[in-house]
Chains A and B, each alone.
Chain A
Amino acid sequence: MSGRVITITSGKGGVGKTTTTANLAMSLASLEQRVVAIDADIGLRNLDLMMGLENRIVYDLVDVVEGRCKLKQAMVKHKDYPALALIPASQVRDKTAISPQDMITVANELKHAHDFVLIDSPAGIEWGFKNAVAPADEVLVVTNPEVSAVRDADRIIGLLEAEERPVPVRLIVNRIKLGMVRRGDMLSVEDVVSLLSIKLIGVVPDDEIIIKSSNEGVAATGRPKQAFEDIARRLMGEKVPFMNLDSNGGVLERFRKLFGGG
């Protein structure tokens, strides 16, 4: 059975693509999936940092593409999850070192021995983004509940829909602060979903835990961990109800109904 290639992208930078890729990869691995994560942000790599693998890197994606090593040699095995590996980005080369066709070749080769191939896309809509989405079977668009991030997500979704071979696109709303939503100071998840009119696959709270765990290169704990694990399960086809982020209850109840758990 062949695995699925899933690209995590956003349009706007800094909304949490890398955080999402790292945590989803670790969640999927902890659910006994065989996972390989590819850092397609050439020149600005940091997926290795967030997965705590920086000091184990020998070869990178550009080395593979340019034939300096075998694909296997560039795969950095995760220290806690034997079924999880990372293919790091090159720190020194720029993104034009790789073409969409290269990405397709690499992803196709990885698909056979893995359940999930996750690709962390760079921000923007240029070359790097095109590389990252070229081999995708599915795309996850990450956004924040902010007008500018939503606008850029919309742009990306439009580009994906206009592809020759459109693939399913689902939405992750990251950094939701329910206190602010309740006071009407922040777009709610419902607002974002209604603006973008695509299927929601996950909601991740804004939480200091993420900053701490990212810095340490380990998986998030607490509620963020739960949120990523829920997304992982939904990717695996389970019907998981949306987490109630509102400790007073209620707010998320509505879109739990609306979206039926993804």
Chain B
Amino acid sequence: MSGAIQFKGIRQGLLVTIPPDDEWAKVIADLAIRIDQQAAFFKGASLALDVDKRAVRRHELANLLNILQKRDVNLISVLSTSATTQGAARKLGLAIELVDPPTTTSHVPDALKITESPHEAPLLKSDVHGTEGLLIRRTLRSGQSVQHNGHVVVLGDVNAGSEIVAGGDIVVWGRLRGVVHAGAYGDETCVVCALDLQPTQLRIGALISVSPPSKKRRKHPERAYIDDGMIRAEPWTD
């Protein structure tokens, strides 16, 4: 999952960070694929694109705009330290800093709002000794949803179409194919572990990562965590 495009829910919408070394054409293609995989989620969203030092020329940015417009996604601003990129953005009428959404109707997709308004629950830190957990001894199936302030442990599969939102860690002793959100109150030290980690979407704190379409592959235990502002997955061996 490393090197992937990252999405982060912020007050101004969705902040998109792209891998620094990928070719622009690949970035555009990957972004389009991600959006198409979850069209309903992205529809109408406002994006801020962080390209960091990358110099993006006007026609390159125009290509991206075109692709986003077709998908009903609004690119509002482009963040970059490159003068070329800033110039290109201005010419296309884009902001070069974060802009608040114009009205009270937030452009943050509904699915993300949980990070904006936590429940009335105490902040849980997963590294504090003795935090609470919920054990689920069955397979979570499509349409089923589990929400818990502490950790969630599943002895079974988490099938596509199901969802877990946990204040703490999520551990799945089985296949994880649904949508999971660990550290839902903002704890970025939380982890998600599974014997086969193939989530439709995985969130930790305010970060989002979408699995690439699954090819046939050998399943192996993995752990996802936040490292340097990115969700990464590593073999779950210890």
Contacts and interface: CB of A to CB of B under 8 A. Distances in A.
Interface in A53-93: none
B187 interface: no
B141 interface: yes
Contacts of A158: 140-144, 162
A197 B142 contact: no
A193 to B, nearest CB: 12
Interface in B135-151: 138-144
Contact of A155 (B138, B143, B157, B216): B143
Given A195-B159, A197-B157, A151 B138 contact: no
Contacts of B138: 161
Contact of B161 (A155, A159, A161, A162): A155
A58 to B, nearest CB: 40
B160 interface: yes
Interface string A147-170: 000011011011101100000000
Interface residues of A, number: 12
A256 B101 CA distance: 59
Of A154, A161, A162, chain B has the most CB atoms within 10 Å of the CB of: A154
Interface string B91-134: 00000000000000000000000000000000000000000000
Contacts of A159: 143
A158 B138 CA distance: 10
28 contacts: A151-B142, A151-B160, A151-B161, A152-B142, A154-B141, A154-B142, A154-B143, A154-B159, A154-B160, A154-B161, A155-B141, A155-B142, A155-B143, A155-B161, A157-B141, A158-B140, A158-B141, A158-B142, A158-B143, A158-B162, A159-B143, A161-B138, A161-B141, A162-B144, A184-B216, A195-B159, A197-B139, A197-B157
